[in-house]
Structure formats: C-alpha cells, structure tokens
A and B are shown apart, each in its own frame.
Chain A
Amino acid sequence: NAGVTQTPKFQVLKTGQSMTLQCAQDMNHNSMYWYRQDPGMGLRLIYYSASEGTTDKGEVPNGYNVSRLNKREFSLRLESAAPSQTSVYFCASSPGPSIWETQYFGPGTRLLVL
C-alpha cells in the first residue's frame, strides 16, 4: 500500500495564479484532511471531509476550496495564489471521523508563491 500520496511535491507560483493540489489514499479511509504547516505554528487545518460527499471548513479556510472527488481523492485548490499561502501542505486521512482516530499523513507539497 502506498498510503497517502500527494502531487506535486514542489511548486512555484506567481501571485494570482491558480493550482490544485492532489491527494489520494488507498487505505479505504472515510475521512480526509488538508493542513498547512508554517514555521513555529505547527499544523493548521484548512478543510476536512468527514465522509465522501461532505466537506467542512477548518481553522484557516480563506483562499482555498476543496473537492472530495470520491472516497480515495481529496483535492485542494488555490484560485488566486498569494505570498501568504507559501507553506508546506499536508493531506491526511483517517478510518472515520471519531476524535480518537489516528490520522495518516502524506509526504507534503512545498508551495512557494512569488
């Protein structure tokens, strides 16, 4: 099993450009998440999907949109990138939405917005 995979690994954008970060999991998990990691701030939740067909905002959703394409895939879209969105983005999944579930993380996407 590959676990959680993310593409691309690294991306450079200019301010105002758009892009979609892709995430897929092969563990038959119901819940998926998008986080951003910034130095000294830990990980902050952007959006999550408790189950296929549902999405909800997290702590820092502004400037992002998500799509739960199917049970395996959960994409994150930046419509008009800003330098403040320079960060490392992690996708994660868990078996279900219960608060004691372990989350499994992908390797991350490093995004630089100029």
Chain B
Amino acid sequence: AQSVTQLGSHVSVSEGALVLLRCNYSSSVPPYLFWYVQYPNQGLQLLLKYTTGATLVKGINGFEAEFKKSETSFHLTKPSAHMSDAAEYFCAVSVTNGNKLVFGAGTILRVKS
C-alpha cells in the first residue's frame, strides 16, 4: 500500500531563507506525486504535481520539487521564503485503485521576519 511520510510537523525559516519541506513515499509502482498548500481557514490548493517526464517540477509561487526515484523522495523547495508562504503543506501520492490521494500528515511552515 502506498504511504507518505513528511519529516517535520513544523518548519520555521527566516524571510528570504531557503524553504525545504521533506516528503518520502512508498509505492510498489511508479507514483504520481502532489504538493498541496492550505492557508489558514481555507481548503487545499495544488502547488505542483509530478506525473511523468521531467523530474524537476515547477509550481506556483516560486516552489519546485524534484522526484528522486532512487531516494523515494519528492522534497519541496523555494529559494527565498516570503511571509505569505506561511501555511500548512501536504505531500500526497496517488494510488492506482481509482483516483485516490493518500496524504502525508502535513508540515506547518512558519516564516519569521
């Protein structure tokens, strides 16, 4: 069964610093991988996704993620954090039995001024 592990339930960075949010997955078949963001009191919205092709995926708001099959990872990065990036971030893997997403537990990103 597919599963997702997000390392670190809380990450704190200074404004302008690198953002790195870690995600590892387990899957017996090539996965489809997603990062969603949830701003306070809102629903989730897609940041980026990996389906096939280029392993470096660019998303909205300057975020990107790299699919590394050998490491079963899909870490999310942003070169320079902005105060508006403060939110909860969820990594998810799509399972083959129907369009079902399996979510990680989430990482809350705090950006300090």
Contacts and interface: CB of A to CB of B under 8 A. Distances in A.
A40 B90 contact: no
Contact of B43 (A56, A102, A107): A107
Nearest to A103: B101
Given A4-B43, A40-B105, A42-B104, A96 B99 contact: yes
Given A50-B98, A50-B99, A94-B99, A100 B51 contact: yes
A41 B105 contact: yes
Contact of A40 (B9, B45, B49, B94): B9
Contacts, number: 67
Max chain A Cβ within 10 angstroms of own Cβ: one of B34, B41, B90, B98? B98
B94 A105 contact: no
Interface string B72-113: 000000000000000000100011101111011110000000
A42 B106 contact: yes
A74 interface: no
Interface of B is mostly: strand
Contact of B95 (A40, A98, A99, A108): A99
Interface of A: 4, 31, 40-45, 48, 50, 56, 58, 90, 92, 94, 96-108
Given A43-B103, A99-B95, A100-B94, 17 more contacts: A31-B99, A42-B90, A42-B103, A45-B101, A58-B100, A90-B43, A96-B99, A97-B98, A97-B99, A99-B99, A100-B32, A100-B49, A102-B46, A102-B49, A103-B101, A108-B41, A108-B42
Interface of B: 4, 9, 32, 34, 36, 41-46, 49, 51, 90, 94-96, 98-101, 103-106
